[in-house]
Chain A
């Protein structure tokens, strides 16, 4: 059994909660006591039927206001796969929430109400999925029951979407007609959608090939911490970390950054003992000969495939904080295992994610804004472009005064 991380998105009322409730229910991931609590809460609120959305609205303020305001994580499993689903609310603070949920997702489920077709919100979500380099996008054309399960209604939405999606890169897009409320084509193939020759949604989720979105070519190993000698192992020195990309094997030559010193990997220790190869997302300890001048924040790569090193680079930035960007404030950049002082030297343009129009009047960067910026760090950083390498191309900015996470960046 393997793991698939996914995100749900779509307009408010296009049926996200209903679909999620159905997936949880039909995979038997809802327990009786949770179900009873939701039933009771629905009665108290005066809802006409058991309100599946209550199952996923976790915090009291949300239940009271009837809206979801933060990313929540849900778990369900079938005999084939375990799913970790980031449930991103559709309205309030949307871009911020979707960027957060999408950062770790391998697949996005985008819901579209078949009656409304493509909306601005749908385009924004598809664009963000592509920007965050989610490989797989499944467009669920929902509420097919309300258009008598007509094929032309589905085709219309698909054609609209394909016309828009031409502008997006890197996405593998599939379309599935469903009715989340009645369960058509969610878990079981629906007789009412017999013209559709693809499998139902859950089967697609269980079988979609993931793993090809991981970079297994460019070997990168950020040093998370150094494991030094101890009573148990008086002469041990190794570096612990999570492989960001590529493959490391004992016997191979590696290059240490920033020293550019080379060494041979003598052993790789996984959680359960020595391993013959390490790849993303494995957490391992590398031993080298000769020992290297290691510190947290360093990077190991290979002599014939090196990262870019520099102090100034371009990045797309999504502003996450309610406090706008302020050049007078100090920011700390976190990238792999590094934390380093950083300034935004230029805001090149803000991107309107509905029209993809570039606005060059450098207005202040505020929450949910997406901009292309130039970043300058106080010391050199080893990185790759996000397009090439999600792990060594992503960063966050932290406000040095109040310590909050204010922006997410993707290096260009």
Chain B
């Protein structure tokens, strides 16, 4: 690489740090949305670096669906402790108990959409001006037009057709009280960039990402983990397979892929050769062509 020139992964890292610092400078109260998944891990690691040697001025906020893999929660707690972040947890169960939302029913019920209610309640309760998310524009078509500083109105809604134009590296975070912003420092990263960064920085990962043996069953083309939360339907059969997960979310809708990749290098090779988007393994995104856009308008991550 020539002098005075950054590799693409360095360029993305410097850009993300600039965005994180901009969020800290423009918003008095900001949280990092933290799921324990790889994107939020990268965010937490970048936030540590952006404010070093001082602490990152953000707590981690986890919206817990109650449908997590046990490995994720254990990992979440350990990472927050090791990196020195304050961890805030708000649960979908609590939202349901308080009657703020009603559980979906039926075979394909998911708590994924309900998370938005819990998240918006948490942002209001904790008085956050901004929530930093790990969303990337390559994930999904509706995200390709999302701004890096993305405005949410007083009801927490996104208005995709009235977004503020975003020019150069100037971010406009002005807002009225009660409104908030979502900030996406990883907007320009691809799935492969995230993996390359994790490998380069040797960031620890939840074990779910690596190949392991698990009881799974097939539902509408998605390989789901066998769990008491997912009663089997007629014709469905549990089998033991070597799988890994490309995303670690709600276990009722996060699909596994058959894989023998047990090291980061093997995972990267697999991702590079993959013929499916990572959200393609998410059952709830398949419900309609605009599923993601609808959830995002309503305040989703």
Contacts and interface: CB of A to CB of B under 8 A. Distances in A.
A126 interface: no
B170 A72 contact: no
B145 A71 contact: yes
B174 A403 contact: yes
Given A1-B8, A227-B51, A240-B50, A296 B25 contact: yes
In this complex, the member of A2, A227, A232 whose beta carbon has the largest number of chain B beta carbons within 10 angstroms is: A2
A3 B11 contact: yes
Interface stretch (A97-105, A144-152, A346-354): A97-105
Interface in A47-66: 56-61, 63
B86 interface: no
A73 to B, nearest CB: 5
Contacts of A281: 6, 11, 14-15, 18, 169
Contact of B168 (A84, A104, A398): A104
Contact of B14 (A72, A75, A211, A271): A271
A241 to B, nearest CB: 8
B81 interface: no
Contact of B138 (A75, A332, A334): A75
In this complex, the member of B12, B142, B167, B275 whose beta carbon has the largest number of chain A beta carbons within 10 angstroms is: B167
User: What band does the interface of chain A fall in when counting residues whose beta carbon is under 8 Å from B?
Assistant: 35 or more
A58 B170 contact: no
A390 interface: yes
B98 interface: no
B14 A283 contact: yes
Contact of B174 (A214, A283, A296, A398): A398
B13 interface: yes
Contacts of A69: 161
Nearest to B193: A82
A405 interface: yes
Nearest to A339: B174
B172 A59 contact: no
Given A233-B53, A405-B165, A334 B172 contact: yes
A70 B145 contact: yes
B2 A211 contact: yes
B274 interface: yes
Contacts of B8: 1-3, 81-82
B50 A283 contact: yes
A395 interface: yes
Contacts of A171: none
Given A1-B7, A58-B141, A100 B166 contact: yes
Contacts of A391: 168-169
B14 A242 contact: yes
A7 B141 CA distance: 18
A245 B295 CA distance: 41
A41 interface: yes
Nearest to A34: B277
B165 A73 contact: no
Given A77-B190, A211-B5, A227-B54, A70 B161 contact: yes
B161 A240 contact: no
A42 to B, nearest CB: 12
In this complex, the member of A41, A271, A332 whose beta carbon has the largest number of chain B beta carbons within 10 angstroms is: A271
B23 to A, nearest CB: 10
A404 interface: yes
Contacts of A236: 53-54
A335 B171 CA distance: 10
Contact of A58 (B5, B17, B142): B142
Interface string B258-301: 00000000000000001111001000000001100100000000
B176 interface: yes
A2 B5 contact: yes
A77 B164 contact: no
A408 B204 CA distance: 42
Contacts of A100: 165-167
A103 B168 contact: yes
A230 B18 CA distance: 21
B187 interface: yes
Contact of A103 (B24, B167, B277): B167
Contacts of B277: 31, 33-34
Contacts of B13: 271
Interface string A28-44: 00011110010011000
Contacts of B244: none
B218 to A, nearest CB: 16
A230 B7 contact: no
B192 A77 contact: yes
B17 A396 contact: no
Contacts of A61: 161
B145 A58 contact: yes
Contacts of B215: none
A17 interface: no
10 contacts: A31-B276, A40-B289, A58-B144, A70-B163, A225-B21, A271-B50, A281-B6, A332-B174, A337-B25, A403-B174
Given A1-B7, A233-B53, 20 more contacts: A1-B8, A2-B7, A3-B12, A31-B276, A31-B280, A32-B280, A37-B289, A58-B142, A58-B144, A59-B161, A224-B21, A227-B54, A231-B55, A236-B54, A271-B14, A281-B169, A283-B18, A283-B50, A337-B25, A398-B172
In the A-B complex, list the 6 residue pairs whose CB atoms are closest, starting with the nearest: A58-B141, A33-B280, A233-B53, A230-B54, A3-B8, A403-B174
